[in-house]
Structure 1
């Protein structure tokens, strides 16, 4: 993977971790407005997940890089995203497998894992490149009490 500089998410935490990875997946967007994207097609998605926090775990990690890759790459690589009914829907536009929704879904999957850890870091940004010229950034809104203070 090429070295890339991503837009920085502002946060109050001491530590910030970024994990780059890619996965190949097919999808279609079940909406007439999607034009050609209504047809089944595939991409090599390039993702960067940003995690931040103040506390390290018992191994000295904010989170192990391998866990982040396993959570997303193993789930989505060489798949038809539309078949992941837990994450995506063909009936609800806010769950169509668009780049925006895939980025949000990655954030939600990672955060569910992080919520189960002792140090409770936060997934603060997902950068998802769908094509060489198109990408999306998803930054979840902070919940009360998750402002690092």
Structure 2
């Protein structure tokens, strides 16, 4: 899978990247989606970047296997429109590549925040085709 993706700038001591892939089908439920309104499939390639300053009791920022369980095991060989995280009525929840990247970030970040050493997901990249990918980077909270 030898991919090289854009790096995200951060101030954390550790950065972990995990690549994985899964096969899934979807459709985009909007008339402007053209042929993508029909059910079709992709082999999605995903890169996740997790960062943090502290390691867990086993010396991990996060176990690679855990990341795979949260995403690959949920979406592999599924019709994404049937997953409760997606919604055919709200365009912010259509299973587009953009929404997939954000949703994967939400899944990972929710699980990471349960950990005592508080790593964070700083970037998710979802490649839908060999020539098209989306990067999702959460905005940093600014203290007012």
TM-score interval (norm. to shorter): over 0.9
Q: Which residue of structure 1 aligns with residue 133 of structure 2?
A: 135
Q: Which residue of structure 1 aligns with residue 115 of structure 2?
A: 117
Q: CA deviation at 1:144?
A: 4.8
How far apart in 2 are the matches of 1:143 and 1:120? 16
How far apart in 2 are the matches of 1:15 and 1:25? 31
- How many residues are matched? 143
List runs of 5+ in structure 1 lacking aligned partners: none
List runs of 5+ in structure 2 lacking aligned partners: none
Q: Write the deviation string for residues 54-83 of structure 1: whole angstroms up to 9, x where unpaired.
A: 010000000000000010000000000000
Q: Which residue of structure 2 aligns with residue 7 of structure 1?
A: 6
How far apart in 1 are the matches of 2:63 and 2:140? 22
Normalising by structure 2, we get a TM-score of 0.97
In the alignment, does 2:32 pair up with 1:39?
Answer: no
Q: CA deviation at 1:4?
A: 1.1
SS of aligned partner of 2:2: coil
How far apart in 1 are the matches of 2:59 and 2:37? 45
How far apart in 2 are the matches of 1:5 and 1:27? 26
How far apart in 2 are the matches of 1:123 and 1:55? 14
Q: Which residue of structure 2 aligns with residue 22 of structure 1?
A: 21
SS of aligned partner of 1:129: strand
Normalising by structure 1, we get a TM-score of 0.94
How far apart in 2 are the matches of 1:121 and 1:77? 25
RMSD of equivalent CA atoms? 0.9
How far apart in 1 are the matches of 2:21 and 2:3? 13
What are the within-5 Å matches in structure 2 for residues 46-57 of structure 1? 46-57=45-56
Q: CA deviation at 1:141?
A: 1.1
